[in-house]
Chain A
Amino acid sequence: MCTAGGVPSPRVYMGAHALQSIPSHAHRVTGMVRAGSASVWRSGLLHVSWVVLAVCSGVGTARAAACCGTGYGVGGRLAPAERAAVTMQASGTVPYGSMNADGRFVRARSVSLEGRPELSGMVRLWRGLQAGLAFRGVTQVRGLPRKRAVGTGIGDVRAFGRYELVPSGGSGWVPGFALTASLTLPTGRAPWAGRDPAGADVTGTGLASLRVGVALEHALGEDFFWAAGGTVGLSQPAANAGGFRVEHAPQLQVFAAGGPTLRRTLSLAAGLHYQREGAPLINGRLAPGADRSKAALFGVASWEFGERWNLVVTAQADLPYDRTGRNDELTAAVTGGLRCIVGAWE
């Protein structure tokens, strides 16, 4: 399923661990290698940052996505010498409680599981321009006190792009800087279109949304990197969201993460994500006390194996902290994925 695409040496773009075995002709085809071994190291570290970005673009349950919007706009990324990549991942999400409008934690009285297989691909269209698509399915199992329900279906489709104004992986103290964008199309089943009383058959947002932002990435030395970014999202108004006309406020999201690379092939990162959204207009009137905010901690482990594969495991948990989390469902999630590099950028 994953082919080299005529790449002379896939090891060139796999990161620092492969540096020792780079064939001589590879030096002629990758700018990363031409920049010297230090750049290769940085690229290897920054290679991990796509994981962080992927985490930031994938958290949030489908049910919550009705208002959160799927994807934080940063999408994924390709390392400097990668032409394309395909990612297959599956995630499991468990809501463990919610924060009410007063900012008080309410423990979940039901057990729910949400599974999301996802297939995504990203390609470098031009030197600094990358674009991708993500397709996902959603399966929800809701264990309510008096009922069990299972629902499954196609989730929302997401297109995302990224334009690097300052290439990451370069030398010096200037971080890489990129503009990001993401468009979510409501191909899943909307919350107001579901027929299951527990919402088990809800698989999407029901709304198209556009999200734009910026991303910063930087390697410090040879074995540590950090990434940070922010996005603003806008959703189309819902003309009939279960009998209501709803106009969502813009949603702000920021994140920061960093971590080391160990043993050259194992990278770790931890970070914090925060989102905030003002109260929506319901039938033209501002809904009092309906603003939302939520913070989450996440960790990522990425292991490079073979010549073009990454195995990635992420864990994420929303923080039940005072008013941070109000009006939202709090979840914990684990994601496992395989990423395959397809071709090198010459």
Chain B
Amino acid sequence: MRTIRWMLMAVLAACTDGGDGSTAGFDETKTGDHGLYAFHLTSADVPQQGSNTFTLELTASGSPVDGATVTVDALMPAHGHGSGTPITVSAAGNGRYTVGNVSFTMAGAWDLTCSASRAASQDSATFHLDVP
């Protein structure tokens, strides 16, 4: 069984694209649904199947927003499911938040909904991604 597994791994290693088919990462800015915050989501790599890491830059009227409670949800709307692994968010300072462990379990169109709240204000924005 272990031999078969390694053989399959070898076949896949020979066939896999290598992840460098495109060097363009993800970079998009959206205004929140309530118009309170601007959400700037970036990734050095093209979003792909498996675990991904993004950087979310949160601003209000051009000023960085620190100390916000940020949550991120991944959803494949057409298929009606997210992924089983919890997404992690950690503050990186100057209005930046590192969004890690974003798992896209299959290819297709995914939505990444970022929500931010601070004091009594709450806003969210949804990004549409095509995962190859």
- For the complex formed, measure the closest distance between the CB of B125 and the CB atoms of chain A, giving whole angstroms: 15
Q: Does B62 contact A (CB under 8 A)?
A: no
A99 to B79, CA, bound (A): 13
Q: Are A243 and B12 in contact (CB under 8 A)?
A: no
Interface residues as binary, B82-102 with A (CB distance below 8 Å gives 1, 0 otherwise): 111100000000000000010
B65-122 residues with Cβ-Cβ distance < 8 A to A are 73-75, 77-85, 101, 103, 105-109
A-B Cβ contacts below 8 A, count? 183
How many A residues have CB within 8 A of the partner chain? 59
Known: A98-B107, A145-B19, A328-B108. A67 touches B79 (CB 8 A): yes
Q: Are B19 and A279 in contact (CB under 8 A)?
A: no
B contact residues around A238 at 8 Å (CB): 80-81
Residue of B nearest to A98 (CB): B107
Residue of B nearest to A100 (CB): B130
Which single member of B19, B79, B81 contacts A109 (CB below 8 Å)?
Answer: B19
A10 to B16, CA, bound (A): 49
Q: Are B128 and A101 in contact (CB under 8 A)?
A: yes
Which single member of A100, A111, A248 contacts B108 (CB below 8 Å)?
Answer: A100
Q: Does B132 contact A (CB under 8 A)?
A: yes
Q: Does A54 contact B (CB under 8 A)?
A: no
A contact residues around B9 at 8 Å (CB): 141, 143, 148, 150
Q: Does B48 contact A (CB under 8 A)?
A: yes
Contact-residue size bin, chain B (C-beta under 8 Å from the other chain): 35 or more
B contact residues around A148 at 8 Å (CB): 9, 12-13
Q: Are B132 and A106 in contact (CB under 8 A)?
A: yes
Q: Are A243 and B107 in contact (CB under 8 A)?
A: no
Which single member of A109, A150, A196 contacts B21 (CB below 8 Å)?
Answer: A109
A contact residues around B16 at 8 Å (CB): 110-111, 143-145
Q: Are B105 and A194 in contact (CB under 8 A)?
A: yes
Q: Are B80 and A248 in contact (CB under 8 A)?
A: yes
Interface residues as binary, B1-38 with A (CB distance below 8 Å gives 1, 0 otherwise): 00001001100110111111100000000000000000
A contact residues around B12 at 8 Å (CB): 111, 113, 141-143, 148
Interface SS of chain A: helix, strand, loop or mixed? loop
Q: Are A329 and B106 in contact (CB under 8 A)?
A: yes
Residue of B nearest to A292 (CB): B78
A contact residues around B103 at 8 Å (CB): 197-199
Q: Does B63 contact A (CB under 8 A)?
A: no
Q: Are B84 and A191 in contact (CB under 8 A)?
A: yes
Q: Does A76 contact B (CB under 8 A)?
A: no
A161 to B12, CA, bound (A): 39
B79, B85, B128, B132 interface centre (most CB from chain A within 10 Å): B79
A106 to B101, CA, bound (A): 23
A143 to B11, CA, bound (A): 9
Residue of A nearest to B51 (CB): A197
Q: Are A329 and B78 in contact (CB under 8 A)?
A: no
B21, B109, B128, B131 interface centre (most CB from chain A within 10 Å): B109
Known: A100-B130, A198-B105, A282-B77. A192 touches B82 (CB 8 A): yes
Which single member of B8, B21, B83 contacts A192 (CB below 8 Å)?
Answer: B83
A140 to B54, CA, bound (A): 27
16 contacts between A and B (CB under 8 A): A98-B107, A98-B131, A106-B132, A113-B12, A141-B12, A145-B50, A146-B50, A150-B8, A190-B84, A192-B81, A198-B103, A241-B82, A242-B83, A244-B80, A280-B77, A328-B108
A contact set with B: CB distance below 8 Å: 63-64, 66-67, 95, 97-101, 104, 106-111, 113, 141-150, 190-199, 202, 206, 238, 241-244, 246, 248, 279-280, 282, 287, 289-292, 326-329
B contact set with A: CB distance below 8 Å: 5, 8-9, 12-13, 15-21, 46, 48-51, 73-75, 77-85, 101, 103, 105-109, 128, 130-132
Apart from A197-B85, A241-B82, 14 more pairs, CB < 8 Å: A64-B106, A66-B80, A109-B21, A109-B132, A110-B107, A110-B132, A142-B49, A144-B48, A150-B5, A190-B81, A241-B80, A242-B83, A280-B78, A329-B107
